[in-house]
Structure 1
């Protein structure tokens, strides 16, 4: 019995010592600190009611976590950040912090009236680019607070949102702030003078929309202002930002001209001539909204792959 008690004591001692060693070992291995996911809705980034965004911060983020600013579409006159909440949340699930933004819209009052109402908009496309710029600066200013990277920032957008993303990325305000841009079916060329008899062929509301976008009537003398909102002409050799272009095969957008493959090919050729890194992806059978089953899975996969490869 005495021998049995001694053996039991020895066994208990070994278990206690072993457990203690395991705890010490765990302490010495410096385990990863888990940071909880955080969502902040309708965060104001400026002094206008439309300047709000939803901020999604992923689990276990660090100062190395990339930030994606997502810009919704809507022909510059409509749309809302909620249109892409599902897509944005998939980016977050893949460990990116995402700012899903709203921005000031071009005034659409009377645009589709008959006859079309002629009116100057207080908000122009260039003002919307300024809104995107404010968001980027806001993200950098809050990076430490959010525990994300202040240097790994990407822009992505759909339709008009893609156009705004490209205009900011290639513009002078992007002083090495945005490192990657993803264009999902953006409007790349908004000029018109090369369209024969454009003032007869294009609907009045399209010409009026151009006026509201730029503040200048759609006539040949004002073409420079339309080039200034066209990524095809804004792209330049000073901003060699990796660019992903995703083109839906059936990219019809109402009566808007220049939404087809030829324009995307011209844009690719322009980027190549400038030595701007880029990738072109066509989604077969897709419409402008990528509504066909499986289309957005392709868009998400291509976007994630490009971000992972270039947001370093």
Structure 2
């Protein structure tokens, strides 16, 4: 009971004070540095754009079998920052001490830069960078991905359609869109601003190709989903339909639907989310 209370307090405090988090960047980029103490590198560049950076946290005692968890923030594909995922980073460092954590930024969409394939390309670049630097970081090429909101959409889409080497061992979507072709989206004008960012040529084929629901196959990695029944941004059909498709394909998965929650939650349901996500990670990644 003490551990549960400590975890709940930790989550509450990190969410309440996320804006105050201010890590100092490490200047230790020596590829010959093979010390196995805890190590962090902040704002590591994986591309030429200022948003193409990530933070990496390497556990002490790591080996070439150390698994890697990638965190992907939300923001409707047009905003947000990796610091938004600091609560997940902080609790993961505390309770998944043998997993390396990578908290990534990606290029944000605007009227001149569509989110796809730009943002999934950035995930590819991060994973390729990590695999190319396995010996430097002393990590494996086994990855988990946790995404929130738009980050959840990107996490699922990449894992289902672009992970050609089957590097992803588990993926999590927290309130991430799964079906951009859903009539709940396309036939409801309140979502028009969301779709404007994807461009003018929104054919049904394009929407399906951009949707995890239509890209998932029987070879998809184990998947864990969390959705809210009162979400004003992501219709409840998004989580329910994805869960049904995973059932049909017999993919190991878990689905939690909080009937009275919106686009995110705190309190006991947040504790429930972390408890389930931690166990799922320990089962499929560690």
Q: TM-score range by the shorter chain?
A: 0.7 to 0.9
Q: Which residue matches 1:207? A: 192
RMSD of aligned Cα (Å)? 2.3
**TM-score, normalisation: structure 2:** 0.80
Matching of residue 233 in structure 1 with residue 214 in structure 2: yes
CA contact (8 A) 1:211 1:217 kept: no
Give the C-alpha shift of residue 241 in structure 1: 0.9
1:127 is displaced (CA, Å) by 1.2
- The TM-score, its normalising length taken from structure 1, stands at 0.74
Question: Deviations along 1:102-134, whole A, 9 cap, x unmatched?
Answer: 101111xxxxxxxxxxxx432323210111111
What SS does the corresponding residue of 1:288 show, helix, strand or coil?
coil
Bigger Cα displacement from structure 2, 76-85 vs 53-62: 53-62
Q: Is the 8 A contact 1:76 1:125 kept in 2?
A: no
1:63-122 deviation digits (Å, cap 9, x = unpaired) = 222100100001111111001112212112222111101101111xxxxxxxxxxxx432
CA contact (8 A) 2:227 2:256 kept: yes
Q: What stretches of structure 2 of length at least 5 have no aligned partner?
A: 1-34
User: What are the superposed Cα offsets for residues 26-78 of structure 1, whole Å, 9 maximum, x if unpaired?
Assistant: xxxxxxxx821111111111121110111111222222221001000011111
User: Cα deviation per residue 1:161-212 (whole Å; 9 max; x = unaligned)?
Assistant: 01000000011443211121011111111115x45993xx404xx3354242
Q: 5 Å matches for 1:1-312?
A: 35-93=36-94, 94-95=96-97, 96-107=99-110, 120-150=111-141, 152-192=142-182, 194=183, 198=187, 201-203=188-190, 206-213=191-198, 215-218=199-202, 222-237=203-218, 239-253=219-233, 259-260=235-236, 262-283=237-258, 285-290=260-265, 292-311=266-285
Aligned CA distance change for structure 1 residues 196 and 232 (closer, same or farther; 3 Å): closer
Q: Counterpart of 1:167 in 2: which secondary structure?
A: helix
Q: Is the 8 A contact 2:226 2:239 kept in 1?
A: no
- Contact kept in structure 2, 1:63 and 1:144, CA below 8 Å: yes
Pair 1:224–1:143, CA change in 2 (3 A)? same
